[in-house]
Structure 1
């Protein structure tokens, strides 16, 4: 396997993961807090200047999910049984825990359905990203074999087929048998994962930070231009496809954003304290109850107490949410990880890791 995949992640990539999660939170703030999601679900052709301003901002944020998965492919996921169990426990804890918190504040009764849904939160898709990423993680040992054992031609052939399915046919036609779902799917994640592997091994662009930053900005502007043009000269559905995760422009934007950070030099080691909590932030703010709460109250709060403008206020709230969520995650980890460590030792689950990498 390529040596680059064996190296520990650099601090600049850890910073990138933090930035991406804050931008994901901002994206959801725009969609729900500003009600932009209602424009999509209603198929409305009437989009006022305020909504257009929000969508312009979102064109710079929409690449975040692809960038996350690209990072995983670039460095290669190393499957560990403990990590699988840890992710499941993390999701179950936040699913049930957040339900309990809302029940305490609203006076509702906690039901067995809520507990059952919490226990099945990963396989039943309570968080679409977590479900797709979890099964990508399970498949990763076999996906990694492609780079390890296939020739360059064979690898690029598979990448070409996945590109055809996800970014060409899946984007322009989106036939249901392919299961692309506008990029909200495991298949799309596998495609992006392969792109990460390809750039770590076969594709090399020796460009500086300015090149990648300009590429990111230009792609983001083109995404918004694509939406605006689609709205004026085509159908509403075609316009909204500009914000689909399998839009090729979004993939280029994600790759550019990654390499901009890849070219940075960061030495602040405490970044790792926060970067280990990024998935927890996603679980907390995208829980159905949290999402509904943000939809109902966020915009009025940010408008009433705005600092500068509402978008800067959203950013500040996202940063505060990240910091607070990190503290919650550290407490959760302190409680659950010793139990998980005990189970791994008790049942010698670590042996499965070595079985997975046997040749």
Structure 2
């Protein structure tokens, strides 16, 4: 699973990982709050998957029905991050060292988890675990990180496109791409123009452009916050009711339970809609309390590390998800409470670990290393371009 990797800068200003001494008037702390909520959604998705409450074996039980409602309500979390990236990055100054810093962060956790596993559980470590940990981005251990890193290199060109399009042209572009990659595939229940149901760099690019449009031109600006919440709830309830009804009807029609997940995929309009609604709702939020801003800033800065830690193939499996199977055996109401509480605890625990990581990175001056790597790659690129010019000019 993001989800997620929204940019930590806005309008070219560096995001402080610590508690801010003042409330920046140029920073939208509502967007930071959405980062936290979106990561909580991702945690909920993974928790529900780990306790196996959503499998057809539990069909007809209250836990199954309530679990799927919670699943659909949280499913837009990954889309939220891509929207936030477009919303934030479209006006910022693009720097390649940011993707290098991102890679350093992933390597820190994957190599660190591999070391811990080799020390304490060497018998459980396989060759595939070692290769995936050593090459986390290239191996696709985190599909969102791999897709996001690829997207990062296209961001300058997407920004150039968005800045040159008129509002009407931008609208035509978005309508076209969502018709081709969202509405038609959902209605036909097949990936006509493959975006792998949203698990791809191309889908992240589409959401990036949508987030950019919201920031530059606005969307549903005349709609108040309450109708937006109702729109979010309406999309979730429709997808859930459709699944529940089809689960009952499909055995009589085709002899098996099938097709209920038609609207439950990242590129479904009923998943994109709630993500857009949340982006609009949170972008309007304002916080006047310095304490609230401090808490939001600290938790939002850790959101990426929360993702990397809890999705890690070694640490996430042994220390997080396998110990929560008991959650599924409780009542449906208690299950929801447990899932939400556990997600909050996992988030807080990972955020504390990330505080240590940030401290170590500051001591090692990792940002300077990222600039050095970027500078070296820039020199290689310059040498390559120079060689190409010589080849072109050679008779």
Residues 49-78 of structure 1: CA deviation (Å, up to 9, x unaligned): 321110011121111111111111122254
Whole-angstrom CA distance in 1 between matches of 2:377 and 2:42: 36
Q: Give the 3 Å change call, closer, same or farther, for CA 103–311 of structure 1 in structure 2.
A: farther
Q: Distance in 2 between matches of 1:345 and 1:137?
A: 16
Q: 1:223 corresponds to which residue?
A: 239
Match of 2:160 among 145, 149, 155: 145
2:392: which partner in 1? none
Distance 2:155 2:269 in 1: 23
Candidates 191, 205, 222, aligned match of 2:206: 191
Query: Does structure 2 retain, via aligned residues, the 8 Å contact 1:82–1:340?
Result: no
Greater shift in the superposed pair: 280-289 or 73-82: 73-82
Which segment is superposed worse, 147-156 or 273-282? Answer: 147-156
Partners of 1:133 and 1:346 in 2: how far apart? 22
Does structure 1 retain, via aligned residues, the 8 Å contact 2:47–2:339? Answer: yes
Matched, 1:313 2:338: yes
**Contact preservation (8 Å) 2:48, 2:71:** yes
Structure 1, unaligned runs of 5 or more: none
TM alignment of 1:1-359, pairs within 5 A: 6=11, 8-36=26-54, 38-39=55-56, 46-76=59-89, 78=92, 79-108=94-123, 113-173=128-188, 178-205=193-220, 206-234=222-250, 236-267=257-288, 268-270=292-294, 271-293=296-318, 294-300=320-326, 309-337=334-362, 338-344=364-370, 346=372, 349=375
C-alpha distance 13-48 of structure 1, shift in aligned 2 (>3 A) = same
**CA distance in 1 between partners of 2:372 and 2:135 (Å):** 25
Cα distance in structure 2, aligned partners of 1:100 and 1:144: 40
In the TM superposition, what whole-angstrom CA distance separates every residue of 1:113-145 from its partner, at most 9, and x where no partner exists?
Answer: 544322321122111121122222221111111
Secondary structure of the 1:243 match is: coil
Contact 2:302 2:351 in 1 (8 A): yes
Q: 1:325/1:85 Cα in 2 relative to 1: closer, same or farther (>3 Å)? A: same
Alpha-carbon offset, residue 283 of structure 1:
0.7
Shift of 1:302: 7.5
- Number of residue pairs matched by the alignment: 343
* Aligned equivalents of 2:327, 2:171: Cα separation in 1: 49
Identify if the C-alpha distance between structure 1 residues 351 and 222 changes in structure 2 by more than 3 Å, giving closer, same or farther.
Answer: same
Distance in 1, Cα, partners of 2:343 & 2:314: 17
Which has the larger Rg?
Answer: 2
Asked if 2 retains the 8 angstrom alpha-carbon contact of 1:209 and 1:264, the reply is no
Give TM-score scaled by structure 2 length: 0.77
Report the Cα distance in structure 2 between the residues aligned to 1:32 and 1:111, rounded to whole angstroms.
21
C-alpha contact (below 8 Å) 1:344/1:350 kept by paired residues: no
Instruction: Tell me if structure 2 keeps the 8 A contact 1:159–1:195.
Output: yes
TM-score by length of 1: 0.85
Question: Structure 1 177/255 Cα, relative in aligned 2: closer, same or farther at 3 Å?
Answer: closer
Range that drifts further, 199-208 or 159-168 = 199-208
Distance 1:153 1:350 in 2: 41
* Alpha-carbon offset, residue 229 of structure 1: 2.7
Change (3 A) 1:110 1:299: closer
The verdict on how the C-alpha distance between 1:300 and 1:105 changes in structure 2, with shifts beyond 3 A counting, is: farther
Note the C-alpha offset of 1:208: 2.2
Mapped contact 2:327–2:338 kept (Cα < 8 A) = no
